[in-house]
Amino acid sequence: MARPDKAAAVAELTDKFRSSNAAVVTAYTGLSVAQLKELRRALGENAQYRVAKNTLTKIAANEAGITSLDDLFAGSTAIAFVTGDPVESAKGLRDFAKDNPHLVIKGGVLDGEALSADEINKLADLESREVLLAKLAGAMKGKQSQAAALFQALPSKFVRTAEALRAQKAEQGGAE
């Protein structure tokens, strides 16, 4: 029979897997408590970094419907549960791993899809959600301005053409 403390830990981890947009599995062997504290700050407000037992984490992930991470639960394992922008947390992990080679990104999951360590690094290379939305808004505004100029050009061109025709007829009528 499962011990109540282990059942509670599995239930908590299952809830974290279900409520997060992304989860990144890392190995942290060799990091000090101070470095782990620094890593938690680097992840930002929208992520929680949690050291967990592999067996309990595997059970919790499976209960949450995530089976693609089973191979990653070996050795020292900690998981970053991301509830906000996954790009910000991926950048925090990547940058921290550059300065601290003991942190190894094993892989993760984003909206139910498995990600390799390389894909997480590519995610970190993206610009933040706010920057991408601002670029999209700028592009849309530019297209709207182009469309407005085009729609405005058609009537003015028609008026100029009609005026040129009128002037030409007036010339021809005056020359006869």
End-of-domain residue from the set 95, 111, 126: 126
What is the average per-residue pLDDT within 2-28? 87
Tell me: pLDDT of 176 over 60: no
| 75 & 36 share domain | yes
Residues 10 and 83 placed together within one structural domain of the fold: yes
Residue 2: the pLDDT is 66
Q: Determine the pLDDT at residue 151.
A: 75
Q: What is the pLDDT of residues 30-73, one digit of tens each?
A: 888 888 888 888 887 888 888 888 888 898 888 888 888 888 88
The answer to whether residues 40 and 116 belong to one domain is yes
Q: Are residues 161 and 118 in the same domain?
A: no
Same domain, 32 and 113: yes
Q: Which two tokens stand for residue 14?
A: 């299952």
Number of domains in the chain: 2
Alpha-carbon distances of 89 from 44, 79, 102, 103, 125, rounded to whole Å: 7, 12, 18, 14, 11
- Look at residue 174 in the predicted model and tell me its pLDDT: 60
Whether the predicted pLDDT of 1 surpasses 60? no
User: Domain range holding 30?
Assistant: 3-126
For the chain, the DSSP string reads ---HHHHHHHHHHHHHHHH-SEEEEEE-TT--HHHHHHHHHHH-TTEEEEE--HHHHHHHHHHTT--TTGGG-SSS-EEEEESS-HHHHHHHHHHHHHH-TT-EEEEEEETTEEEEHHHHHHHHHSPPHHHHHHHHHHHHHHHHHHHHHHHHHHHHHHHHHHHHHHHHHHHHHHH-
Question: Are 167 and 95 members of one domain?
Answer: no
The pLDDT, as a whole number, for residue 20 is 87
Shared domain for 53 and 81, answered yes or no, is yes
Residue ending a domain, choose from 126, 144, 160: 126
Same domain, 108 and 161: no
Q: Both 165 and 90 in a single domain?
A: no
Residue 76 has pLDDT above 60, yes or no: yes
Q: Say yes or no: 98 and 150 in one domain.
A: no
Q: Which of 104, 126, 148 is the last residue of a domain?
A: 126
pLDDT, mean over the chain: 83
One domain for residues 104 and 79: yes
- Split at pLDDT 50, 70, 90, the class of 150 is confident
Asked if residue 150 and residue 97 are part of one domain, the reply reads no
